[in-house]
A and B are shown apart, each in its own frame.
Chain A
Amino acid sequence: MEQLIEWLSQPWPWNVAGPLITLTMLLLLFVGKSFGVSDTLRTTCAIGGASRVSDFFDFDWRKQTWNIVFVLGAVLGGFIASTWLQQPEPIPLAQDTVLKLQELGINNAGEDYLPVEIFSWESLLTLRGFVVLVLGGFLVGFGARYAGGCTSGHAISGLSNLQLPSLIAVIGFFIGGLVMTYFLLPVILTL
């Protein structure tokens, strides 16, 4: 048992993680559901009574309860993995990434999952932290619903079903991601 936990605690390589994500999608398909995490944001709005402000939220959210339970599982999985399956070493990032981040004032890249300089409650009160956490989250929620899905719904489920709209969305994800990474992040990180 101890050996098993030690083995599971190593960082999982891409050729293990990728197929397991496919497995996640397949398990949901075989219980009659489709893999799409950002739907839960819309469901949360609906549960909160947002149908009063837009008919976009006027649907039977009880049919989406399964997805809320699914993401509660994702919370639990995050807890289990970081409590009992935590790797001792930093994330093996590319050297170029680590050096570039040092230039932008982010030190110790890979020591934790997130840069503590930005992802903390104290940072929320700084301009940089506010932009990353609040504006960033807003763009994710707005964009995911505008595009009709996020990474799971479009990049995984949609592309697996050879949907052209999903390919267009994924191309959009990359246009936005590259503009942010190369042009906007260098400014935002040094605010």
Chain B
Amino acid sequence: MKYLTYLSIGTLFGIIMTKSQAISWYRIYEMFRFDSFHMYGIIGSAVTLGVISVYLIKKFKLRTSAGDPIAFTPKNKSIPRYLYGGIIFGLGWALTGACPGPMYTLIGGGFSVILVVLFSAILGTLAYGMLRKRLPH
């Protein structure tokens, strides 16, 4: 039953990503060229509403459906890992036109070659895990 909930939320997410064209390589290219407001509108409105929602959740100490407090884990303070990691991610995002969410959605949309992109992303994650201790964080 719980898993059906996660599956449904994921399905909703996949439909949103497809219908908003956020899964499109063209939309990401267009975004990085500042040719259209579309992607900025999506991310900007999602974050604006997100900030307000998280604020209200904290202010009213809202709880999960199981009755537990909703926990937010603060991210560790540092600059290099976020900046360097972010730049590497950004290079890949603009190249493939897909971050991990859209990769899954595109595979479901019938673009089977994205399996190669996803597999490479898993290899990238594995490589990070192996090199982690030698990288500045």
A residues 30-71 touching B (CB-CB < 8 Å)? 30-34, 37-38, 40-42, 44-45, 50, 53-54, 56-57, 65-67, 69-71
Q: Are B30 and A97 in contact (CB under 8 A)?
A: yes
Chain A interface, number of residues (Cβ within 8 angstroms): 125
Chosen A-B contacts, 13 in total, with CB atoms closer than 8 Å, are A14-B41, A20-B12, A33-B6, A53-B126, A79-B14, A94-B36, A109-B26, A138-B92, A140-B103, A155-B43, A169-B82, A173-B93, A176-B91
Q: Are A142 and B35 in contact (CB under 8 A)?
A: no
B residues 85-115 touching A (CB-CB < 8 Å)? 85-101, 103-114
Beyond A66-B2, A72-B7, A136-B96, is A82–B53 a contact (Cβ under 8 Å)?
no
Q: Are B129 and A45 in contact (CB under 8 A)?
A: yes
Beyond A30-B70, A142-B124, A150-B99, is A85–B10 a contact (Cβ under 8 Å)?
no
A residues 100-152 touching B (CB-CB < 8 Å)? 100-101, 109-110, 113-115, 118-121, 123-124, 131-148, 150-152
Q: Are A124 and B70 in contact (CB under 8 A)?
A: no
Residues of B within 8 A of A (CB): 2-3, 5-33, 35-47, 49-51, 53-54, 57, 62, 64-66, 68, 70, 72-79, 81-101, 103-114, 116-130, 132, 135
Q: Are A143 and B122 in contact (CB under 8 A)?
A: no
Total of A-B residue pairs, C-beta within 8 Å: 493
In Å, the complex CA distance between A21 and B99 comes to 15
Q: Is A161 an interface residue (CB 8 A)?
A: yes
Q: Is A91 an interface residue (CB 8 A)?
A: yes
Q: Are A138 and B121 in contact (CB under 8 A)?
A: yes
In Å, the complex CA distance between A3 and B103 comes to 30
List, in ascending order, chain B residues with CB within 8 A of A14's CB: 20, 37-42, 45
In Å, the complex CA distance between A22 and B125 comes to 26
List, in ascending order, chain B residues with CB within 8 A of A79's CB: 14, 108-110
